[in-house]
């Protein structure tokens, strides 16, 4: 089957509309602000071969690209001939999908009659998965919560009662957790209905001909963009705070014809704590880092992965094996687009940004509220991005994850947190021709009568974001509890009732020499600083 350009464009836009409806249904029926407000999710449609054809516009690269890799594992465990209408598959295996147990991937086969024609899948951060609260404290994945291998959550339309009972018995918030699983199922059902309508309207017996056209065009476009790069080898390294020791992430990018090879040899060995990254997640954020620099306008699907060869030494912090602890894998994983930018920026300096705060800061509190009821709540916040070649960095903005902050009003309504102060952090952006984005300051207390656990997963408290081409570094981050910095801000803290927890997020690095900053921008900086100080 061939597609003329007009028909192909119409089919592509319809397909994007289908996956956007899937994501919208998921978010609207979600039980948690993590999915509903922060958008910590992914949604996509796959053909019978497990190739991702299109993704929803919402979602994080770590979820989307690792979910694309996860489909081959789903099909290996549950081949097409074993699936029936009404089946729903589930896993949170870090090595098969998104890198830690809190991310749960649910896959819904779509049937027309007795024939499976496609799959819809989504990955969402669940409110709780048992084990430790979300922290880097564990030394093995077994301590981090419930592991769900690839299983059928629904079989021929009927729930797997044994699996549901197992999940209920191992999480702190079973109704919320299972509610979000059913939101993912609802999203897949909506996507499936819309896809079948679309295929019937355009007379598509199978999705594969359209998928091949879309994937093939994406692959060719990305290969052409790589071929246009100056051939050579480009290297860069970044230092992360790690958990209790610095971690080096070293990348070697080689442009070879129409292929790009990224090798992380020389990166630090695996950590004893939960900041380790599995290869799926390393590939996910490396692919994204390349794409936003080399060819940002090309759609993200199976074709975007094929021109890349990504490797990391086994046993390194970027390619750990079982049973390494991985709960805080994003702390390291979110640095990957920055280290790729540092390398490829040597060939394309006008297409990259300086280093930013990188990872989102996750704040999880767990304890008992004033009525004595147990609570567990997670919220995310972001520092500043690095400055760009032509613009200042963005303040309090998540890059590369794109996860949103939960509004204070929602946070206080859904949890015992009381936010006393939230605002941009003056002077935290690195100086330069273009200034790094500002971090933010958040100060809160928790309404409780007894000590509670608080885990703050962030980075750049010791090593700030570096500037680019003469730009200055951003300000480092800081955690204070009643004005005192804990010895290790990543460690779980036992916080006294009424204590003030203050989180100061890092700023992004500057771009270019500060002496070259436009006088109008300098004046604007002064006015904005004065306005914020009042």
- Per-residue pLDDT of the chain (534 residues), as tens digits, is 678 889 999 999 999 999 999 999 999 999 998 898 888 889 999 999 999 999 998 889 999 999 999 999 999 999 999 999 999 999 999 999 999 999 999 999 999 999 999 999 999 999 899 988 788 999 999 999 999 999 999 999 999 999 999 999 999 989 999 999 999 999 999 999 999 999 999 999 999 999 999 999 999 999 999 999 999 999 999 999 999 899 999 999 999 999 999 999 999 999 999 999 999 999 999 999 999 999 999 999 999 999 999 999 999 999 999 999 999 999 999 999 999 999 999 988 899 999 999 989 999 999 999 999 988 898 999 999 999 999 999 999 999 998 888 899 999 998 999 999 999 999 999 999 999 999 999 999 999 999 999 999 999 999 999 999 999 999 999 999 999 999 999 999 999 999 999 999 999 999 999 999 988 888 887 777 766 666
User: How would DSSP label each residue in 206-268?
Assistant: -SHHHHHHHHHHHHHHHHHHHHTSPPEEEEEEEEE--SSS-EEEEEEEEEETTEEEEE-TTPP
CA dist., res. 290 & res. 251, Å (int) = 12
Q: Strands 259-263 and 308-311, how do they pair?
A: parallel
- What is the number of H-type helices and E-type strands within the chain? 12, 19
Residue pointed to by tokens 């079973």: 174
Q: What HEC string does 88-137 produce?
A: EEEECCCCCCCCCCCEEEEEEEEEECCEEEEEEEEEEECCCCCCCCCCCC
Q: Strands 52-55 and 151-155, how do they pair?
A: unpaired
Q: What are phi and psi of 385, to 5 degrees?
A: -85, 165
CB 356 within 8 A of CB 396: no
CA dihedral 174, 179, 185, 186 (to 10 degrees): 170
**Start-to-end C-alpha separation, the chain:** 65
For the CA atoms of the chain, what is the radius of gyration?
23
Sorted by sequence, the CB contacts under 8 Å of residue 217 that are 6+ apart come out as 303
Q: Identify the three-state secondary structure at position 57.
A: coil
């Amino acid at each position: 089957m061939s597609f003329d350009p007009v028909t192909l464009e119409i089919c592509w836009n319809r397909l994007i509309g289908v996956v956007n409806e899937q994501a919208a249904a998921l978010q609207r029926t979600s039980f948690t602000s993590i999915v509903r407000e922060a958008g910590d999710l992914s949604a996509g449609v796959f053909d019978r071969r497990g190739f991702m054809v299109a993704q929803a516009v919402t979602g994080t690269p770590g979820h989307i690209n690792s979910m694309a890799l996860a489909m081959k594992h789903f099909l290996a465990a549950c081949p097409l001939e074993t699936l029936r209408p009404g089946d729903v598959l589930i896993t949170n295996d870090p090595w098969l999908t998104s890198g830690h147990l809190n991310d749960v991937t649910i896959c819904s086969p779509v049937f027309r009659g007795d024939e499976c024609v496609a799959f819809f899948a989504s990955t969402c951060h669940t409110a709780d998965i048992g084990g430790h609260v979300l922290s880097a404290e564990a030394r093995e994945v077994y301590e981090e919560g419930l592991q769900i291998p690839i299983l059928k959550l629904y079989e021929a339309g009927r729930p797997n009662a044994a699996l549901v009972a197992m999940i209920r018995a191992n999480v702190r918030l079973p109704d919320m957790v299972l509610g979000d699983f059913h939101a993912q199922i609802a999203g897949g059902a909506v996507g499936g209905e819309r896809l079948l309508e679309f295929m019937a309207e355009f007379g598509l017996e199978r999705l594969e001909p359209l998928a091949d056209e879309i994937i093939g065009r994406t692959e060719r476009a990305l290969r052409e963009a790589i071929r246009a790069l100056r051939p050579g080898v480009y290297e860069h390294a970044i230092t992360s705070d790690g958990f209790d020791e610095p971690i080096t992430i070293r990348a070697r990018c080689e442009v070879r014809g129409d292929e790009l090879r990224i090798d992380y040899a020389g990166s630090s060995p695996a950590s004893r704590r939960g900041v380790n990254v599995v290869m799926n997640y390393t590939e996910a954020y490396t692919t994204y880092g390349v794409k936003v620099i080399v060819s940002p306008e090309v759609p993200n699907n199976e074709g975007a992965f094929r021109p890349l060869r990504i490797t990391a030494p086994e046993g390194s912090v970027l390619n750990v094996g079982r049973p390494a602890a991985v709960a805080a894998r994003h702390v390291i994983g979110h640095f990957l687009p920055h280290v790729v930018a540092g390398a490829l920026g040597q060939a394309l300096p006008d297409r990259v940004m300086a280093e930013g705060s990188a990872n989102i800061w996750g704040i999880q509190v767990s304890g008992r509220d004033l009525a004595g009821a147990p609570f567990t709540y997670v919220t995310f916040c972001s520092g500043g991005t690095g400055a760009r070649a032509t613009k200042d960095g963005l303040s309090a903005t998540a890059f590369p994850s794109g996860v949103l902050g939960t509004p204070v009003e929602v946070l206080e309504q859904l949890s015992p947190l009381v936010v006393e102060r939230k605002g941009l952090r003056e002077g935290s952006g690195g100086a330069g021709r273009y200034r790094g984005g500002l971090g933010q300051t958040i100060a809160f207390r928790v309404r409780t009568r007894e000590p509670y656990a608080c885990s703050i997963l962030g980075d750049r408290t010791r090593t700030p974001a570096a500037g680019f081409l003469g730009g200055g570094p951003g300000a480092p981050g800081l955690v204070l509890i009643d004005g005192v910095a804990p010895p290790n801000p990543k460690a779980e803290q036992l916080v006294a009732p009424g204590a003030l927890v203050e989180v100061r997020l890092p700023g992004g690095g500057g771009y270019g020499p500060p002496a070259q900053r436009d006088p109008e921008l300098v004046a604007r900086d002064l006015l904005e600083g004065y306005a914020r100080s009042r």
